[in-house]
Structure 1
Amino acid sequence: MIALTWNIVLALIWVSLSGHFTAINLLIGFVLGYLILAYALRDLPVFANYARKGPRFVRFVGFFIKELVKSNLRVAHDVLTPTHHMRPAVIAFPLIAESDGEITILANLISLTPGTLSLDVSSDRKVLYIHVMYFDDEAEVHASIRYMETRMLEVLR
């Protein structure tokens, strides 16, 4: 967390020195601050871990956008065709995520993806109940959600 704070401070310094407070300029300052921290402080464990999270975050965003587009196209195809291919089901998904924040982020990512909706978390926080519109293959559904969870946890941990 301290590395992120330093990165934000460097981005704000960049914006103040440039004299133009815009979102693009702040983003440029954030990227430059990230590169400075990743290179200059690479021997410190806190900053080395932070440097690895940047590329993971970018890959996760790309992965999530790809999944979002695929699921949107599947739902749009089902809406536009005369026959419906839906096989709705409610599944119990065992969680690897442990903290409330990790579970909340995963539940929101699942709910953002069309065709799935997070319903509830068990009282022991070990199982997430999910409504799935296309329950063709149980192993495939579990594998795709598990893949999203592991990718998310790579960024968060």
Structure 2
Amino acid sequence: MKNRFLSNILLTFIWVAITGDFQFSNYVFGFILSFIILFVITRGDAKYFKIIPKLVAFIFFFLFELIKANLQVAFDVVTKKFYMTPGIIKVPLEAETNLEISLLANLITLTPGTLSLDVSEDRKVLYVHAMYISDKEEFISDIKNGFERRLLEILR
């Protein structure tokens, strides 16, 4: 996987050098073009060709959740009435390794209105403080089907 990624980066830089256009959009286009070329040459057998699209989709998903949470917190700050219903939720984990749990906890903490507090000793539960909990089960489902599922698809 490292070799394919490095080949993709190398082909991207070759594309940028040949075209002479050093704008960010040309780097993105070169990366996509070289990704397609590598996919065709290797017949798409490698794990790399499955992870990169999932990673790009995950980045867009995280940005959407980040913007949505920022708007929710900003709305609550600028209005007279507070809509907060704070609480601490136990989120059962499918993530097992330190990397998976750490990334999930950090993604939750980076989203405004939520904060990862602790992981249970057996590493089966993540404690999360949230500012807006209208339904406990829905909150848990959002984390499990959103951040955790998508993160594990990339890492496993």
Common fold: TM-score over 0.5: yes
Which amino acid is the alignment partner of residue 155 of structure 2? Answer: L
TM-score with structure 2 length normalisation? 0.84
* Cross-structure match for 2:153: 154
CA shift at 1:144, angstroms? 0.6
Distance 1:81 1:6 in 2: 52
Identity %, equivalent residues: 49
Which amino acid is the alignment partner of residue 143 of structure 2? Answer: I
* Cross-structure match for 2:115: 117
Distance 2:72 2:44 in 1: 46
Which one of the candidate residues 74, 77, 102 is aligned to 2:75? 77
Aligned Cα RMSD in Å? 2.1
**Count of residue pairs brought into register by the alignment:** 154
CA separation of 1:94 and 1:111: change in aligned 2, threshold 3 A: same
* Cross-structure match for 1:7: 8
TM-score with structure 1 length normalisation? 0.84
C-alpha offsets along residues 33-59 of structure 1, whole Å, 9 cap, x if unaligned? 211112211253xx2x22222322232
Q: Structure 1: 5+ residue runs without aligned partners?
A: none
Distance 1:9 1:79 in 2: 47
* Cross-structure match for 1:50: 48
The 3-state SS of whatever aligns with 1:97 is coil
Distance 1:36 1:43 in 2: 10
CA shift at 1:25, angstroms? 3.6
Distance 2:140 2:39 in 1: 36
Alignment of 1:2-151 (within 5 A): 2=2, 3-19=4-20, 23-42=24-43, 44=45, 47=46, 49-148=47-146, 149-151=148-150
